Structure 1
């Protein structure tokens, strides 16, 4: 039997022993925990004291020129006959831009301008016929009244002569009556003869009064006839004047139609030619602008539309963060701007670009775009009017301690 030098238990214990030096584990000192807790509390206190909380509102808008742009529209469906400018040209007010034709057609059936001119000619011929008939009718009625006036004048003259004769007859009758009265008083004549002489005097006087009455009646008729002649002349003149005015309107309409056949659109303001739509021979619609003119010294800016609940917190000079839809801010970064103007009255949603999907009254905020404040690709990218964008407006900044203690402060105020 072989004697073992070490016991089996000792050999197994040595085989399973861990490699390294055994060190006794002692917990860290309490001071370290104290310093750590104090540091965390100090950091939290610093954050609560100096930190701020900002309430924001996200609004939408478009890029536009600060001085606006002039859009030139055709007044109706038209055909472009000539283009006198190119995009980028500088023009003065009144410079010809396009020549268009609003109407076409020269066939025998009267299409286009020919049809309008034929209709105007028919209307003018009818008015000319009415004018001629009015002149003839007025002259005929005036002539009839003039003849009636002449007859009345002749009758009045005759009655006046009769009045002279009647007056002479009255004088003779009165003379005879006076002689008969003297004879009767001298017993040289009878009383009956004197009475008969008085009756003759009365009869002659009645005849003279009747003639005077007829003269007055005829004079009234003469004045009425002369008034009718004057009224008829005025009525005829008024009718002919109205017809002449309508013919003048037709003449102006004819001249307008002839001008519309070749209408030259000019620049309303001085500036640079922007978008030029269409080409020679293409059709133009009245709801689509053919060319735009950008005023000189115009700059691009952002027009933001904010709801009424946020408009009261916006102020001039406020910085705004702009995110252009054409240049995603995740890739190109965001632009910066400064509020330069806030509208005093709300803008109707119907007057805003439908693409912004605004369905309530909003206030317009004009923002000056700061170039060079963002990395290349955002505001430094070539912007164009009409581009849509979004912006973050800071409505209110409050300290964190005010936010945290707000319920308590409200309770104390209550």
Structure 2
């Protein structure tokens, strides 16, 4: 049996007849050029997306403050400003007078309570001073009196001594005469009666001498007493005057306390420069409200940024930021550089801390060092002031545009 092929003979014959040479498919030149350009554009776009970064930023508010603290001076009591001793921008030393505040208090009749009490203290002080002068005068008179009595007693003692000498001489003479009378009586020259009279005379003189001796002892005792009183007089005077001086000192202290109650002298707590002086003579002041601010010497201003919790995760020291001051529009004066130097570890709640910027949500305090303490405005150098408000851009993250485009895919991969 003759074998039959798979294809028909006509088809095989037709396939055996081939054209000589290679088969070339012709393409237009414009299609190749367009393909190359398209590939270059795609590569350029990919390179651009990969090389170009995209910053996600958060705009936050803040203010300027000194780096070593600011002293806000306030009145500790409610009153009326009577005197202001400083001007805005003036340099002051710690303890210098800043302002005097009057504390008005009145009785039901309308009289000043402080004035009434003060007049009473003045009258008491005057009475004590009068009493002091009386004591000094009385003690001086006592001293003169004691001195006079002492002089008289000494003179009297001297007279008694002279009388004693005379009586002693008379006694000796009469005693000798009495002995002579005894001899004469024994011989019968005189009568016994004359002898007795002479004896009575001797006894009388002895009695007078005894009385003078008693007077002498009495005068000596009196002189001793007067001398002691005269010696004790200065110490007694000092004691009485010390009591009166103590009363005067107590009354003056009460006057001082009353003055302090009626007036309040406000002094500088630190050395520095006066700023933000809002106090005016005649104005009512409330307790605790600042009257002025003192900028410490050698203090540098720094920015305090209030960063919300949602933007705080990537903030760190050394990070650069750009600042815009509200007082100097950035469209005209440009942006200013700053560097984060300190980040807080605890949040600040609304109304928890007294700040010049109102806070509506929990924030972190971030301190930023300024590149300059001045602003160039219209050819002049304008110093920055404490309390100026500002805004700043915080860079949260930096990614390429390519990563940003593929973020949905990457986030989907993270979920899987």
| TM-score normalised according to structure 1 size | 0.54
SS in 2 for 1:42: helix
SS in 1 for 2:399: strand
The question of 1:62 aligning with 2:63 is answered yes
Report if the CA contact (8 A) 2:272-2:295 is conserved: yes
Question: Distance in 1 between the 2:327 and 2:36 partners?
Answer: 52
**Paired residue for 2:78?**
77
Deviations 1:336-364 (A, max 9, x none): 21111111111121035677442222110
Deviations 1:206-246 (A, max 9, x none): xxxxxxxxxxxxxxxxxxxxxxxxxxxxxxxxxxxxxxxxx
The question of 1:95 aligning with 2:118 is answered no
After TM superposition, give the deviation of residue 394 of structure 1 in Å: 0.5
After TM superposition, give the deviation of residue 330 of structure 1 in Å: 2.2
Number of residue pairs aligned between Structure 1 and Structure 2: 261
The question of 1:257 aligning with 2:258 is answered yes
Map 1:295-334 onto structure 2 (within 5 A): 295-334=296-335
After TM superposition, give the deviation of residue 309 of structure 1 in Å: 1.8
After TM superposition, give the deviation of residue 334 of structure 1 in Å: 1.8
Question: Distance in 2 between the 1:380 and 1:338 partners?
Answer: 22
Report if the CA contact (8 A) 1:79-1:102 is conserved: yes
Give 5+ residue unaligned stretches, structure 1.
1-26, 121-249
Map 1:175-194 onto structure 2 (within 5 A): none
Map 1:44-55 onto structure 2 (within 5 A): 44-55=45-56
The question of 1:362 aligning with 2:347 is answered no
SS in 2 for 1:350: coil
After TM superposition, give the deviation of residue 47 of structure 1 in Å: 1.3
Report if the CA contact (8 A) 1:335-1:378 is conserved: no
Question: Distance in 2 between the 1:314 and 1:379 partners?
Answer: 34
Report if the CA contact (8 A) 2:93-2:271 is conserved: yes
CA spacing shift, 1:378–1:395, aligned 2, 3 Å: farther
**Paired residue for 2:40?**
39
SS in 2 for 1:407: helix
Deviations 1:248-293 (A, max 9, x none): xx99887533213233211111111223233444433334322221
The question of 1:401 aligning with 2:402 is answered yes
**Paired residue for 1:129?**
none
Report if the CA contact (8 A) 1:277-1:291 is conserved: yes
After TM superposition, give the deviation of residue 377 of structure 1 in Å: 7.2
SS in 1 for 2:351: helix
After TM superposition, give the deviation of residue 329 of structure 1 in Å: 1.8
After TM superposition, give the deviation of residue 37 of structure 1 in Å: 2.3
CA spacing shift, 1:95–1:343, aligned 2, 3 Å: same
Question: Distance in 2 between the 1:372 and 1:76 partners?
Answer: 36
After TM superposition, give the deviation of residue 411 of structure 1 in Å: 4.2
Report if the CA contact (8 A) 2:375-2:384 is conserved: no
Q: What is the aligned-residue RMSD (CA, Å)?
A: 3.8
Question: Distance in 1 between the 2:60 and 2:393 partners?
Answer: 7
Question: Distance in 1 between the 2:386 and 2:339 partners?
Answer: 18
After the TM superposition, which of the residue ranges 285-294 and 66-75 deviates more from structure 2? 285-294
Map 1:159-174 onto structure 2 (within 5 A): none
Report if the CA contact (8 A) 2:374-2:383 is conserved: no
Report if the CA contact (8 A) 1:333-1:375 is conserved: no
Give 5+ residue unaligned stretches, structure 2.
1-27, 122-250
Report if the CA contact (8 A) 1:81-1:101 is conserved: yes
**Paired residue for 1:11?**
none
